[in-house]
Amino acid sequence: MKVLYREDLSTILYTETQIATRVAEMGAQISADYDGKPLVMVGVLNGAVFFLADLMRSIRVPVSMDLVAISSYGSYSSTSGVVRIMKDLDESVESKHVLIVEDIVDTGLTLNYLVDYMRARNPASVKVAAMLSKPSRHRVKVQLDYLGFEVPDEFVVGYGLDYAQRYRNLPVVAVLKPEIYAGHDTPPNL
């Protein structure tokens, strides 16, 4: 299979088949855990859209969705520590079961902020599903209730993850060659 942008990638970490299999497994577990409990999936824009759509289709309980956009990076080289809500929820989550859906957990600072932000809205519960996690980069303890894969401390793209708005449409998760972003600030997920 020809991979789009192949010349920009150093390693393919997870194939389309591996991703689909893992997402289906996560969907089955979430379905079992929320049996009889309507669920609100809250996707984090923009990167989680691909994962959110696939995960939602694999869940077999009543589910609705909403989206948030948050930002915590002042520059590419480091997190600013200040989180801004760029787009808030459209619906109330009070007394509802909330599942935050994230593409990648890097430092964990933004995710922890978002979990606290959701809990302040008095939901029945708040859990997290992340497609990817970089445990070596976590600066705070994060609770990932459902996790697709762990990735190394390298800059990864594909399946929603981008660099300069490119590579999101790759059906794989891959490591971007350093020369692609050389001379620029280090991208946020490195």
If DSSP codes are grouped into helix, strand and coil, which group holds residue 83? Answer: strand
Name residue 101's amino acid: V
Domain annotation covers residue 31: yes
Q: What average pLDDT does this structure show over 140-161?
A: 96
Domain annotation covers residue 113: yes
Of these residues, 8, 54, 103, 106, which one is catalytic?
106
Quick one: pLDDT at residue 78? 46
Mean of pLDDT over the chain: 91
Q: Tell me whether residue 88 is one of the annotated catalytic residues.
A: no
Q: What are phi and psi of 70, to 5 degrees?
A: -130, 155
Domain annotation covers residue 186: no
Domain annotation covers residue 127: yes
Quick one: pLDDT at residue 144? 98
Q: How many CB atoms lie within 10 A of CB 183?
A: 5
Residue 72, domain CATH: 3.40.50.2020
pLDDT band for 185, please (50, 70, 90 cuts).
low
Domain annotation covers residue 11: no
Domain annotation covers residue 90: yes
> What is the count of structural domains for the chain?
1
Quick one: pLDDT at residue 189? 58
Strand partners, 158: 161
For residue 58, the enclosing domain spans 19-151
Domain annotation covers residue 50: yes
Domain annotation covers residue 9: no
Digit-coded pLDDT (tens) for 25-47: 999 999 999 999 989 999 999 99
- Cβ neighbors of 78 (< 8 A, separation 6 or more) are none
